[in-house]
Amino acid sequence: MDPFQDSNQFGEDPAAEFLAREEAEMQKIEGLDGEFETKVNLNYNFDESSTDMIEQEREEQPDPYSFISSQDRVVQEPEKIKKWREEQKARIEAKDAQEEAKKLEWREMAKKELADWYKNRQEQLVKTIENNRLTNKASETEIMASRENDSNGHDWERIAKLCDFNPKANKNQKDNSRLRSILLQLKQTPLVR
């Protein structure tokens, strides 16, 4: 026997039973018996007394918001909650003050570090410029001295001294390997005039 095939084994549906019970309770609370009697009066006699009665009924009806305002009353917070709120507010203000102090401190530190960085950079630039000047002067004097000492037959050797024959150091440089090989050949076997 398969328990899933027999639907009558468990009796009524519990959800339907619950809904029926709740509906009956609601009818008891509201005073409804399930049947409604409606009486319709099709004889409308409008005279001034009936309109006065309607206006009087309107005046007697309470304001729809008066019920809400009567139910809406200020509930006093417990003393512990008030104390906690005050402490929390004081803690937040203290944290904000600390945060502002740290922000100012970090800004001052950042300004100082930036000024130091610019100072170091300027010093390095001055040193680099001075080193380049000295290197250029030394190479110029060397070239001038070699020019005076060399004879006409060793022109390619002087040119070869000026060239860098190391393979290319990084990818940004152009490949000059063919030019280097030609200069080396000319150095070893110069052209005959």
What is the 3-class SS of the chain, one letter each residue? Answer: CCCCCCHHHHCCCHHHHHHHHHHHHHHHHHCCCCCCCCCCCCCCCCCHHHHHHHHHHHHHCCCHHHHHHHHCCCCCCCHHHHHHHHHHHHHHHHHHHHHHHHHHHHHHHHHHHHHHHHHHHHHHHHHHHHHHHHHHHHHHHHHHHHHHHCCHHHHHHHHHHHCCCCCCCCCCCCCCHHHHHHHHHHHHCCCCC
Average pLDDT of the chain is: 77
- For residues 140 and 125, which has the higher predicted lDDT (pLDDT)? 125
pLDDT at residue 137, as a whole number: 94
Task: Please compute the mean of the pLDDT values over residues 149-178 and round it to a whole number.
Answer: 70
Q: Which residue has the higher pLDDT, 156 or 188?
A: 188
Give residue 84's pLDDT.
93
The answer on pLDDT for 146 being more than 80 is no
| Whether pLDDT at 17 is above 80 | yes
| pLDDT at residue 107 in the model | 98
Two structure tokens written together for 152: 């006409």
pLDDT band at 147 (very low <50, low <70, confident <90, very high): confident
Angle (CA) 17 22 26, round 5°:
150
- Ranking 34-43, 48-57, 103-112, 143-152 by mean pLDDT, the lowest is 34-43
